[in-house]
Amino acid sequence: MSYSKDLEDFILRLKGGVFFLSPREKLFLKFLDEMGIPESVVKRGIEECYRSINPLKRSKYPLFLCFKNVMETYENHLRLEAQRAEIDWERRFWEKLELVKGMVKAKVERPASEEEAQRILKEIETRIVRNLWRKLDRQEREKIKEKYKEFKDNKEIYGELVKAEVKKIFGVPDLSLYID
């Protein structure tokens, strides 16, 4: 999947007074694309983000600062899709754990709700990635840091980029009730 030129044009119109996206902003869109986030969801999240910014400041507001809005929009999108498909969240929870059983050392308690199940999966995913990060040799870690150095000043995005890279290297599946 690759986002259309329409998305870039849409972003430029929202920002106003800008004729092109910076290399960092294009890298950010590439990252969202690699995460598999549908273009329509990215568009909604970015629109929500920029509509909350003073129009006089939008042109200088970096696109990657919309990450939280995009991820919240994506989470809502996935939750609605799951509700439409009437997924059995509890069954899905245990299936997801089964995919990473060799990487999870602690005993996992049965969640009381769908929200708790999703939170537990995300916590487990974070722990797995941290452990795998430590297993990478220093040179590999430096290579990853160098790849995403442009985002170093934004801890949240930088962390997600590094996390995605580590997951890709080790083949760790997404631990989410809503992502297959």
Instruction: Report the mean per-residue pLDDT for the chain.
Output: 88
Three-state SS for the chain is CCCCHHHHHHHHHHHCCCCCCCHHHHHHHHHHHHCCCCHHHHHHHHHHHHHCCCCCCHHHCCHHHHHHHHHHHHHHHHHHHHHHHCCCHHHHHHHHHHHCCCCCCCCCCCCCCHHHHHHHHHHHHHHHHHHHHHHCCHHHHHHHHHHCHHHCCCHHHHHHHHHHHHHHHHCCCCCCCCCC
Say whether pLDDT at 80 is over 90.
no
pLDDT band at 94 (very low <50, low <70, confident <90, very high): very high
Report field, pTM of the whole predicted structure over 0.85: no
Domain locations along the chain: 1-86, 88-180
Predicted local confidence at residue 62, as pLDDT: 87
Q: Are 172 and 132 in contact (CB under 8 A)?
A: yes
pLDDT tens readout for residues 63-77: 888 988 998 899 889
| pLDDT surpasses 80 at 179 | no
| Whether residue 1 has pLDDT greater than 60 | no
The token duo for 128 is 């797995």
* pLDDT single digits (tens) 13-28: 998 878 888 888 888 8
